[in-house]
Amino acid sequence: MANTADIVIVGGGVHGASTAWHLAKRGAGKIILIEKEGIAAGASGWSSAIVRMHYTLESLTRVAMYGREMFGDWKNIVGVGESGFRQVGFLILFATAEVPHAREVIAMQQRLGINARMITPGEVGDIEPRLVRDDVTAGAWEPNSGHADGSTVANSFISAARDLGVDVRIGPEVLAMTSEGSRVTGVAMSDGVISAETVIVEAGFRTSDLLAEYGVDLPITPVRHAITVVERTPDFGGIHPIVSDRIAETYFRPEAGSLTLIGEHDPMKGPVDEDVEAVKPAELNEQVSQLERFAARFPGQDSASLVRGYTGVYDCSPDFMPAFGRVQALDGLFVGAGFSGHGFKLSPGVGKILSDLVIDGSTDLIDVQPFRVERFAEGDLLGAEDGYMNRSLA
């Protein structure tokens, strides 16, 4: 196999796969994607794959909009594979303290043309009458949102990228970047070296170690998150929308048939675990807690059946916002990591952004400067560390 390329991408999750396709679509040259474990073998494969556009930052809202369009029209935009997108709607439940800021977010979404609106507790009941609403001050509704499938999306991007000539290599481990002076020259792997003028690292938690050799501070905390799958009772009825319960700090996402996925809002809720490649089940106490919150919001579901529990790992940054773009320490080096639970829905847009930066030197989608990796060393974080402003909704 060739040991030279124009571009090397490190990581075979949804971000690396999206970037590979976007670059290949634009004819960026010889592209090699390297993945140690397998396509979507990490966080992408365990993602709840929720597709929504409710973000406190307008820039991330725009990135999510790009993704929503692609997920919903995959056949015409990508043309290979599918996204598994199901438009079930995205319903948010707010307590009193969060309502003023929620109104600002909804106003911003509407200005951008998103079909979203604030709703009263009564209107929440009109959308999903099975919900308990006694503690709900207000809600928000995105009818055009829903969920897709992380593994399906990553593998579909990879298939489309391969059709465009991308060389996908499964098995080698990238040990370091190679460089000459202040310029990247390729990657050193467990089975050799690939020379390239551009390297894009999108390897989740492992991204930090690859950057550290060049003095780049990308502080990522790997937090293992529990997901509980329950089978709703036979009398429940049809599927429910995705419910982002800001009061119980939980989300409920319908799955095929009569199943529901239950997960946590808070990206820091769970054990820190650097063994990110390992497949580990959710603890029983985590599953029981999540089922109890589901039953509290949907009366009668204390009789729902526990089907299984599993875990995925969030790559959490200090401000719970991603780092993507050019790395100043080394010409030709780009990064995309630290998505803190936001990653799946942003992956199409981040792939476009990185491909634009590599080919054009800029992007027309958003201003990427606030998301630079250098902000952590500079202490220029995107907002406070706690609260609705900076935590993943689902």
Q: State the total domains in the chain.
A: 2
**Residue 67 maps to a domain:** no
Same domain, yes or no: 11 and 46: yes
Same domain, yes or no: 172 and 108: no
- 69-89 tens-digit pLDDT: 999 999 999 999 999 999 999
Give the pLDDT score at 156.
98
Nearest Cα residue to 20 out of 171, 210, 200, 206 = 200
Same domain, yes or no: 130 and 227: yes
Same domain, yes or no: 176 and 229: no
Helix axes 343-360, 14-25, angle to 10 degrees: 40
Of 316, 346, 369, the one marking the end of a domain is: 316
**Residue 297 maps to a domain:** yes
Strand partners, 333: 199
For the chain, the first-to-last Cα distance in angstroms comes to 41
Same domain, yes or no: 137 and 240: yes
- 3-29 tens-digit pLDDT: 999 999 999 999 999 999 999 999 999
Same domain, yes or no: 171 and 288: no
**Residue 196 maps to a domain:** yes
Q: Are the C-beta atoms of residues 325 and 280 closer than 8 Å to each other?
A: no
Same domain, yes or no: 228 and 311: yes
What distances in angstroms separate CA 192 from CA 82, 87, 207, 218, 332, one per listed residue?
A: 34, 45, 19, 26, 20
Give the pLDDT score at 310.
95
The C-alpha atoms of residue 271 and residue 288 are separated, in whole angstroms, by 17
- The mean pLDDT values, 10 residues at a time, for the chain of 394 residues are 90 97 98 95 92 95 98 98 97 96 96 98 98 98 97 98 98 96 96 96 95 94 96 96 97 95 94 92 95 97 95 94 96 97 95 98 97 96 58 46
Report the chain's C-alpha Rg in angstroms: 21
Give the pLDDT score at 390.
47
Same domain, yes or no: 11 and 107: no
Determine which helix (DSSP H) or strand (DSSP E) holds 94, and give its type and residue range: strand 90-94
What distances in angstroms separate CA 267 from CA 309, 318, 364, 384, one per listed residue?
A: 18, 11, 30, 15
**Residue 59 maps to a domain:** no
The CATH number covering residue 375 comes to 3.50.50.60
Q: Token match 């979507």: residue?
A: 40
Of 316, 338, 353, the one marking the end of a domain is: 316
What's the order of all strands across the beta sheet hosting 305-316? 117-119, 138-142, 90-94, 242-245, 250-254, 259-264, 221-231, 305-316
**Residue 60 maps to a domain:** no
Of 316, 334, 358, the one marking the end of a domain is: 316
Same domain, yes or no: 312 and 244: yes
Same domain, yes or no: 177 and 129: no
Backbone angles phi, psi at 190, to 5 degrees: -65, -20
**Residue 114 maps to a domain:** yes
Interstrand relation of 90-94 and 250-254 (parallel, antiparallel or unpaired): unpaired
**Residue 82 maps to a domain:** no
The pTM score is: 0.96
The CATH number covering residue 285 comes to 3.30.9.10
Give the pLDDT score at 387.
43
Two tokens, residue 343: 């990653």
Boundaries of domain holding 285: 88-144+221-316
Same domain, yes or no: 259 and 172: no
